[in-house]
């Protein structure tokens, strides 16, 4: 029996950050945990970021991941949303201190999980469901995206389309 590999995926956002924890053990994928970290709009942004940081640290401490995948801020039509997402991503990177971290663009996730860089969100979610042998497509979307990110990390660890671009 080989030592299991565990990855946490984060889909960053100030209001909602999705997370997914996936384990690879004995050639079997298992979704260990998933959900969202929510922050309320009526509290100061610095406090919202602190909540996100604490929650991410708790997840990392609880699951002792081999590595962490965080979605890259790649494109946004709204500059304000992009900036807040980037702030959330920065806080997640701080929480990951001491653990290998990889960033993936949405296109990279689509290509790795669905085999096609222009796959729809529904196609990616269907593949996440299939790869993790889930009874239904994971909801909400932020959690499904985070599970896909964790799968990307583990696929890369296993040598599927490896990259040497890590954040440390």
Catalytic residue among 23, 55, 87, 142: 142
Catalytic residue among 71, 72, 87, 156: 71
Concatenated DSSP letters of 20-73: EEEEEETTEEEEEEEEEEE--TTS-HHHHHHHHHHHHHHHHHHH--SEEEEE--
Query: Has 71 been annotated as catalytic?
Result: yes
Concatenated DSSP letters of 77-117: S-HHHHHHHHHHHHHHHHHTTTS-EEEE-HHHHHHHHHS-T
Tokens of 34: 């998933």
Catalytic residue among 11, 72, 145, 156: 11
Query: Has 42 been annotated as catalytic?
Result: no
Provide the CA 70 distance to its chain's centre, in angstroms: 5
Residue 100: left (phi > 0), alpha (psi -120 to 50), or beta? Answer: beta
Query: Has 145 been annotated as catalytic?
Result: no
| Residues marked as catalytic | 11, 71, 142
């Amino acid at each position: 029996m080989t030592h299991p590999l565990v990855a946490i995926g984060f889909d960053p956002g100030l209001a909602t950050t999705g997370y997914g924890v996936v384990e690879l053990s004995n050639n079997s994928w298992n979704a260990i945990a998933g959900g969202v970290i929510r922050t309320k709009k009526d509290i100061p942004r610095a406090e919202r970021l602190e909540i996100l940081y604490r929650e991410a640290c708790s997840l990392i401490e609880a699951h002792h991941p081999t590595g962490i995948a965080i979605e890259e801020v790649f494109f946004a039509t709204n500059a304000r949303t992009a900036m807040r997402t980037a702030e959330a991503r920065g806080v997640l990177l701080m929480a990951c201190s001491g653990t290998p971290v990889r960033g993936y663009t949405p296109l990279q996730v689509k290509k790795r999980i669905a085999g096609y860089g222009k796959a729809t969100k529904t196609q990616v979610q269907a593949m996440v469901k299939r790869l993790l042998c889930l009874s239904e497509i994971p909801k909400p979307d932020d959690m499904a995206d985070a599970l896909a990110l964790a799968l990307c990390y583990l696929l890369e660890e296993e040598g599927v389309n490896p990259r040497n671009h890590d954040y440390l």
